[in-house]
Amino acid sequence: MRRLPWLHRLCMGLLPVLLAACGSAPVMQADPLARSESIAPVPAPPAARPAAEVTPEEVLQEQIGNVDLRARQAQDLWQRMRNGFAIPELASAAVQERTGWYAARPEYLRRSFERARPFLFHIVEEIEKRGMPTELALLPLVESAYNPRAVSPAQAAGMWQFIPSTGKLYNLQQDWWRDDRRDIVASTTAALDYLQKLHGMFQDWHLALAAYNWGEGAVSRAIEKARAKGEPTDYANLRMPAETAGYVPKLQAIKNIVMRPELFGLALPEVPNAPYIATITKTRDIDVKMAAKLAEMPVDEFVALNPSHNRPVIPGANRPTLVLPADKVETFRQNLESHQDKPLSSWQAYLLKAGETLDRVAARFGIELSALKAINGLAGRTRVGAGQTLLVPRQDSAPGNALPARIERPAAEPEVRTVRATHVVQKGETLMAVARKFRLPVAEIKRSNKLSGDSVRPGQRLIIETTAVVQKPGTRGAVLAKAGKPGKAGKAKLAAKGKARKPVRLARR
């Protein structure tokens, strides 16, 4: 355990006789868990002072610490992360396989870590503030390759891959203006809140991660079933879908590479142990291009740091947070000061009236129809009606003409379908293997085929049946209500029937 300097000084002040007898100040012992070749020597403690001279402020400062000594000593962010690795090691054939998979794709790792460079320090900082294992900073590589704009077929979005419902539970705004699941700062806060909750439920990081992938209810039920059968309930032995069984091994594999990249002939890109981004809160509407201009940075770089905004204007009604490079914040503030009496946005919200068409609106506001559609995210022959809000060029330059805070996306009514397919049992294939291939419970396959036992024979035809929730035409995607992502064979058979769109896994985050 690291000695606190304030406690050391207190003891020194109370025991002058003992120290005099010893003849020298005590020497701090090395942390047995520290890697001496990677961590700078621990500095000598300051000269002792009488206890009366140690102020309460100093005691408090030492207690809160702000940053762990080893984190401050780290040469780069990778070493700082290694110092905080705390999830128990997982050793299995799956880990070896995934480690080899990642190690054989150095370009993929390089692109992913380069993408993470601007915000990796922020993630590590937030994890350390909560006392969580720093391996969790590598989880977005498993989820999205650190891509804030990643969207799964199940409509999970962002670097941490939240589905809409879970995102709303963790206060991630999703409407016409923005999607906070893509926000670097907000989504990181939400993901760590969720992971903390899961760890509190299961008291085990492997199970917490399994629940992040599979769902807390699914993991809880799997544990109860195993306990009822007298089986082990740890992650390595728990019965779970193949995707979840391979989820933690992926994180362990990336951890293995980050811990000793030289063993795999890899070199991690340099990531300084210093903040790259900072945030600033806006209360006035501002165009994305204007924000980039005030920060004196390219628009594409600003958008890359602020991917949550859906429109070319950011309304100030909800006090949005803008993410800027740390060295651009003062520049932004100074330039903003010079624009106090000028409008920062050239757009306004317009409520479509009965009988109005997009052509008429475009002509009224002097904008090309194609540009009006693009700005409002209207594709092809998308219909609009009275009461729908459109973004149009601002005609009134008054700064007080504020945009509304929220405009909810119109919800499309889903269509429920039954998906049926036939699977021919292969030689050596068990009923459990078929169930895993199609991500269905064994009991459901037995019920669909009126099977009394668990045995199947090669050549036997099994009916594979599940329920799909499919969005109406003109909307995106289909989400399976029961089945997850089937294997290649199962996926091909379901798709061949033409009963539903592309089958996808049911994301639970």
Closest CA to 264 of 98, 145, 148, 445: 98
How far apart, in whole angstroms, are the C-alpha atoms of residue 385 and residue 352?
A: 7
Instruction: Quote the tokens at residue 113.
Output: 């870590």
| CA distances in angstroms from 4 to 34, 47, 119, 192, listed in the order given | 17, 14, 31, 28
**Amino acid type, 350:** Y
DSSP 93-128: HHHHHHHHHHHT-HHHHHHHHHHHHHHHHHHHHHHH
**Amino acid type, 21:** A
Tokens 């002097």 sit on residue? 366
- List, edge to edge, every strand of the sheet that includes 478-480: 414-424, 461-471, 478-480
How far apart, in whole angstroms, are the C-alpha atoms of residue 126 and residue 132?
A: 9
Neighbouring C-alpha atoms within 13 Å toward the C-beta of 356: 18
Closest CA to 216 of 189, 193, 195: 195
Q: Which H or E element spans position 422? A: strand 414-424
Yes or no: say if 124 and 79 are a contact pair by the CB < 8 Å rule.
no
Active site residues: 143
How far apart, in whole angstroms, are the C-alpha atoms of residue 74 and residue 134?
A: 14
Largest Cα–Cα distance of the chain, in whole Å?
96
How far apart, in whole angstroms, are the C-alpha atoms of residue 460 and residue 430?
A: 11
- C-alpha R_g of the chain: 28
How far apart, in whole angstroms, are the C-alpha atoms of residue 78 and residue 110?
A: 14
Q: What is the DSSP-derived secondary structure letter of residue 267? A: -
Angle at 53 between CA 49 and CA 56, to 5 degrees: 120
